[in-house]
Chains A and B, each alone.
Chain A
Amino acid sequence: MKSKMMKQKETETLFGRGNYMILLIGSALIIAGYLLMSGEGSTPAAYNPDIFSGLRIKVAPIVCLAGYLMNIFGILYRSKRSQLFQCFPCVHHHQNE
């Protein structure tokens, strides 16, 4: 599976532009999600039903989760170009699993 043809150059980068983009979007989603989740709560004066508003407990967590999952993508993503430069005959092997 490790081809002897291809030698890794130290200048070969770990991540490409695609990765940085996805990671950035993911992080932005995470921050946005937490902003949507924030808010005031109940006090001894009154119960605040807003703590269970749809925005805070339904939309916000999904946005956060999307951000966290997107980061997984951001790490694993591999642009087509870098794949071609890499192991040419072995490319199929890396596709599975």
Chain B
Amino acid sequence: MSNLLFKKWNDFSGWIVFLIAAFVYGMTIEPTASFWDCPEFISCAEKLQVGHPPGAPFYMLVGNLFTQFASDTSQVSYLVNFLNALLSAGCILFLFWSITRLVKSLVINDEKNLSTTNVIIILGSGFVGALAYTFSDTFWFSAVEGEVYAFSSFLTALVFWMILRWQDESDLIYGDRWLILIAYIVGLSIGVHLLNLLCIPAIVLVFYYQKYRVVSFKGVIAAVAISGLLIVFILFIYIPGMADMGGWFELLFVNMFGLPFHTGLLIFLALTFFVQTGAIYRFRKRIVHTSLWCLLMLTVGYTTYAVILIRANANTPLNENAPDNIFTLKSYLNREQYESAPLLYGKTYASEPEYVAEGDYYRVKTAKGSAVYRPDKEEGKYKIIRYKEDVCYTRNMLFPRMWNERMTSSYKNWTGGSDIAPTQKENLTYFITYQLNYMYWRYFLWNFVGRQNDVQGSGEPEHGNWITGITWLDNLRLGDQNLLPESLRQNKGHNVFYGLPLLLGLFGIYWQWNRSQKGKQQFSVLFFLFFMTGLAIVLYLNQTPGQPRERDYAYAGSFYAFAIWIGIGAAGLCNTLCQRTTSTVHVGALMMICLLVPIQMASQTWDDHDRSARFTCRDFGANYLMTLPDKGNPIIFCNGDNDTFPLWYNQDTEEVRRDARVCNLSYAQTDWYIYQQQCPLYDAPGLPISWNKNQYQEGKNEYVVIRPELKKQIEELYRKHPEEARDSFGKDPFEVKNILKYWVFSEKDEFHVIPTDTINIHIDKEAVLRSGIMLPKAIRHLKGEELKEAIPDKLCIPLKDVRMLTKVDLLILEMLANCNWERPLYLAISVGSISKLKFDDYFVQEGLAFRFTPFNYKKWGDADENRPYAVDVERLYDNVMNRYKYGGLDTPGLYLDETTLRTCWYHRRLFAQLAKELIAQGDKVCAKKVLAYAEQAVPAYNVPETHESGTYEIATAYVALGEKMKAILLTEHLIAEAEDYINWAFSLKGNRIEMVRNDCLYKFWQWNQYNELLKNIDEKKYKESNQRLEDKYALFTPTMNYKN
């Protein structure tokens, strides 16, 4: 076959693979937003808003184009996901062409004609490698949702292919265009995700091998070092340097010359381009000329960040960090809001801040950093609001891996350390066992060997481990997998490949390396791609234990590199066969067998990546909003990704409940967020925060100390000089408004304290009655004046055991006071404790959120030890039965990942709670109706019946209703879950039992609970179950004393 014909076949095959991948991903995309950051990205793309740092402006532009094809609001997310599916298919396309290029140069030596056998080997290897990656876990996961990683993978594939393509024309000056194009794409890719910069070492190596006929080991080292410097230059010198210079120009033109904001920046940009194009015109020597072009196009690609700057100035609803000027933009780009880990030398979890004496006190020693400028809109100038301060720590160490003091006990779990300060040995143990093995190699093995289930693991043997599918091997490592509880056995995330993809890839490495010098060169290129996009990231991130989710998506680039090796492995096998037989058919057959590997992978991974027909994220987000009353412009507090972004998405894109406001407490500490919350949005007025910018600006009132001893002094003052006192501190000095006005925001510094141990909020009784808040049972029957009398005059919030109030605490108090009950204020149930202040007794649960009320329900008897929160049964019923949607949960065969499942559990538990309340009220008919609907809305076939999912509460409700059959069914199911776990635990070897000891105890406890329930309905079954429990427990106790 001539080269020309081969090229045509190569092109054609590539597009076939593209179509296969596009079809697979298109069929399995989520039809709406997904959990975590996706709803944010989708809303930002559609309306060009500013998401979390460092933003992804180029992704926004491309995503925006796709969203314009939506014919109604619900299609917007579908289209963004579809964009990602196409981009992922594009990545597969370039993967195919990359593999065929590499294999061709290993197998052919400049011949004019290719034998059929060789064509089969080359194209076949492309198919095997590309399809193996198509059906791999991590890549597929990112391909079907609206995150940035699909786009980033596409750009990585594109750039890598381009440098290979450049090799065809490297001698011609025309070939330099590929290098310039690569620089441009890299610039654009920074507007998607920084991951793309990690390709640079591989690219530089290809360049080095191509350009230098004589290659040496030293040369390779030098090339890699230069590429590292290149990354450092772009990331830490060029970009921050440009931002800094932009800042200087701004200060010059705005502060000095009095011109409007951004003049300096624009002049700086114009100057930069002028200088760069001038340099290109001036310098003609090829290396310099091309390098300057590369720099210019890199900068042009980087200008996508103008989107962020421009839209931040438009103060869009989603405007994180409000990077509307060059200074804030710089800190946005540097991701300064996220804690950064030390790398080479720094603190450990045992490090204490250094203290220095200052007068009578000791204060923390800090290294003063640069000035922080912010625009003062009134004066039209930039002002310094504070200086950066870095705390100095004691007891630093080299290469610290355990640096976060909040994670101390988790670190010690991984190292077994019990000393105060970590030794270097413990440090490295943690690095290897957790950061490398658990948080990287485990993901690698998921993709190419097998995965136990899709439950997030933190080291335990039953969740999220890698497995092979070879029974005796897996059982040796992780206990008898067949004994695991049904919910884990049936988990769709269970995928086994018997290690075949791994073996193919390893053989590929072996064969490539032994394929003369060219093979070794190729190996080094792929190795650096693999290393930089995998292990290097692990080194850089320095992760703490207790991550909120599995992080395999970050390493997709290294799996891409390995997929190339898989393709090469297939080529290697066939080529080896080729030496022994001349039969094309034999080679073809072997290639077909290799193709079975990706096909087998697909058979395993399809069920846990098919997200079609799943609308849970959108519907659950809407449910939070629908919990709020329809009138009064309610406000809901939330604090994470999954209870905030789906709500924002619903409001922004699907136009649901635009009369409500969503306030994320994690951001509420920042001045830009407080400002945004004060602005009206859509149909809702701003939040009732009366502070001005000076009072809540960064650095001001971050926390206020509580001085309860002052209370007595103030009371004295009021006794002795009542008139004066009232003039100075208001009628009730301990009322929220007065404390804020006269103390926290006082002009005098020494008044910046909370001078009491109890804060009051005065209650407007009329407003309470108008608000529709559930009245305590004890006073519900009262009317008119009697009712008013019964309502307390004020709400007293004790500050016992609290040493200071943070800005967020003050904000919540301010809003409580100003909302005045008629503007409903809610807290999502997903929020843990929001502050040290205890509001729990004042909450009434109405669904997925608690409402703040002036009534201490504990005191009124509506809440007690058995019922931690008062429940508004009417509202809960209306919400759960009528207003909430369940996202197609009843579709059989739906795939639900762990995050979605957890939110399903919230809903099931609400059903159970509602039923329990109705039974307590004596309304058994309604309760039955509720439970019947629960069975249908949150069905067992999709949401497994486990303890965490609320099944126990449902079973209890059935017992109370006298529904014996249903109760027994559920209880036996729950017992099986607990008992199976214990049986499996017994099958663990050696010290693995240590690991699960506490969980086992917990299962025994659960089993006992179930038995107690069983006692009331089936004496016989109870006796059997109880006997089994006692037997098993007797076997268990020896292991309990094992280490003691």
Residues of A within 8 A of B (CB): 1-2, 8, 10, 12-15, 27, 30, 34, 37-44, 46-48, 51-52, 56-58, 61-62, 64-65, 68, 71-72, 75-76, 78, 82, 86-87, 92-94, 96-97
The docked-state distance in angstroms from the alpha carbon of A15 to that of B165 is 19
With A1-B168, A57-B47, A94-B168 in contact, is A14–B293 under 8 Å at CB?
Answer: yes
Which residues of B in the span 29-84 have a Cβ within 8 Å of any Cβ on A? Answer: 46-48, 58, 60-62, 64-65, 68
Does B176 lie at the interface of the complex (its beta carbon under 8 Å from any beta carbon of A)?
Answer: yes
Instruction: List 11 A-B pairs, Cβ < 8 Å.
Output: A1-B168, A8-B172, A10-B284, A40-B314, A44-B680, A44-B686, A48-B315, A75-B297, A93-B168, A94-B168, A96-B8
Does B169 lie at the interface of the complex (its beta carbon under 8 Å from any beta carbon of A)?
Answer: yes
The docked-state distance in angstroms from the alpha carbon of A27 to that of B4 is 37
Does B289 lie at the interface of the complex (its beta carbon under 8 Å from any beta carbon of A)?
Answer: yes
- Asked whether B173 lies within 8 Å of A37 as measured between CB atoms, the reply is no
Q: How many residues of B contact A (CB 8 A)?
A: 56
- Asked whether A39 lies within 8 Å of B4 as measured between CB atoms, the reply is no
Interface string of B276-300 (1 = CB under 8 A from A): 0000000010100110010001001
Interface-centre pick from A51, A56, A72 (highest chain B CB count, 10 A): A51
Residues of B within 8 A of A96 (CB): 7-8, 11
Interface-centre pick from B62, B65, B173, B180 (highest chain A CB count, 10 A): B173
Tell me if B's interface is mostly helix, strand, loop or mixed. Answer: helix
The docked-state distance in angstroms from the alpha carbon of A68 to that of B297 is 10
State which of A12, A75, A78 has its C-beta within 8 Å of the C-beta of B180. A75
Does B806 lie at the interface of the complex (its beta carbon under 8 Å from any beta carbon of A)?
Answer: no
Residues of A within 8 A of B681 (CB): 42, 47
- Asked whether A68 lies within 8 Å of B304 as measured between CB atoms, the reply is yes
State which of A42, A61, A72 has its C-beta within 8 Å of the C-beta of B65. A61
Smallest CB-CB separation from B181: which chain A residue?
A75
The docked-state distance in angstroms from the alpha carbon of A64 to that of B165 is 28
Smallest CB-CB separation from B301: which chain A residue?
A68
With A14-B289, A57-B64 in contact, is A97–B7 under 8 Å at CB?
Answer: yes
State which of B4, B8, B68, B310 has its C-beta within 8 Å of the C-beta of A58. B68
With A44-B678, A56-B48, A58-B68 in contact, is A10–B286 under 8 Å at CB?
Answer: yes
The docked-state distance in angstroms from the alpha carbon of A48 to that of B315 is 9
Does B1033 lie at the interface of the complex (its beta carbon under 8 Å from any beta carbon of A)?
Answer: no
Residues of A within 8 A of B180 (CB): 75
The docked-state distance in angstroms from the alpha carbon of A82 to that of B180 is 18
Smallest CB-CB separation from A10: which chain B residue?
B286
With A71-B297, A97-B7 in contact, is A51–B316 under 8 Å at CB?
Answer: yes
Does B682 lie at the interface of the complex (its beta carbon under 8 Å from any beta carbon of A)?
Answer: yes
17 further A-B contacts with Cβ under 8 Å, apart from A10-B284, A61-B48, A75-B181, are A14-B173, A14-B174, A14-B290, A34-B307, A39-B314, A40-B314, A42-B314, A42-B679, A48-B314, A48-B315, A51-B314, A61-B60, A61-B307, A62-B64, A64-B304, A75-B177, A97-B97
Does B844 lie at the interface of the complex (its beta carbon under 8 Å from any beta carbon of A)?
Answer: no
Does B3 lie at the interface of the complex (its beta carbon under 8 Å from any beta carbon of A)?
Answer: yes
Cβ of B543 to closest chain A Cβ, rounded Å: 34
Residues of A within 8 A of B310 (CB): 34, 37-38
State which of B8, B173, B181 has its C-beta within 8 Å of the C-beta of A12. B173
The docked-state distance in angstroms from the alpha carbon of A45 to that of B358 is 45
Cβ of A91 to closest chain B Cβ, rounded Å: 12
Interface string of B176-200 (1 = CB under 8 A from A): 1100110011001000000000000
- Asked whether B65 lies within 8 Å of A47 as measured between CB atoms, the reply is no
Does B313 lie at the interface of the complex (its beta carbon under 8 Å from any beta carbon of A)?
Answer: yes
Does B477 lie at the interface of the complex (its beta carbon under 8 Å from any beta carbon of A)?
Answer: no
Smallest CB-CB separation from B315: which chain A residue?
A41
State which of B4, B307, B678, B680 has its C-beta within 8 Å of the C-beta of A37. B307
Does B171 lie at the interface of the complex (its beta carbon under 8 Å from any beta carbon of A)?
Answer: yes
Does B303 lie at the interface of the complex (its beta carbon under 8 Å from any beta carbon of A)?
Answer: yes
Cβ of B302 to closest chain A Cβ, rounded Å: 11
- Asked whether A34 lies within 8 Å of B306 as measured between CB atoms, the reply is yes
Interface string of B402-439 (1 = CB under 8 A from A): 00000000000000000000000000000000000000
The docked-state distance in angstroms from the alpha carbon of A43 to that of B322 is 13
Residues of B within 8 A of A1 (CB): 168
Smallest CB-CB separation from A19: which chain B residue?
B177
Interface string of B648-661 (1 = CB under 8 A from A): 00000000000000
Smallest CB-CB separation from B316: which chain A residue?
A51
Residues of A within 8 A of B289 (CB): 14
Residues of B within 8 A of A71 (CB): 184, 297, 300
- Asked whether B314 lies within 8 Å of A41 as measured between CB atoms, the reply is yes
The docked-state distance in angstroms from the alpha carbon of A78 to that of B174 is 9
The docked-state distance in angstroms from the alpha carbon of A46 to that of B684 is 10
- Asked whether B680 lies within 8 Å of A68 as measured between CB atoms, the reply is no
The docked-state distance in angstroms from the alpha carbon of A30 to that of B215 is 43
- Asked whether B315 lies within 8 Å of A14 as measured between CB atoms, the reply is no
State which of B3, B46, B171, B181 has its C-beta within 8 Å of the C-beta of A76. B181
The docked-state distance in angstroms from the alpha carbon of A52 to that of B48 is 9
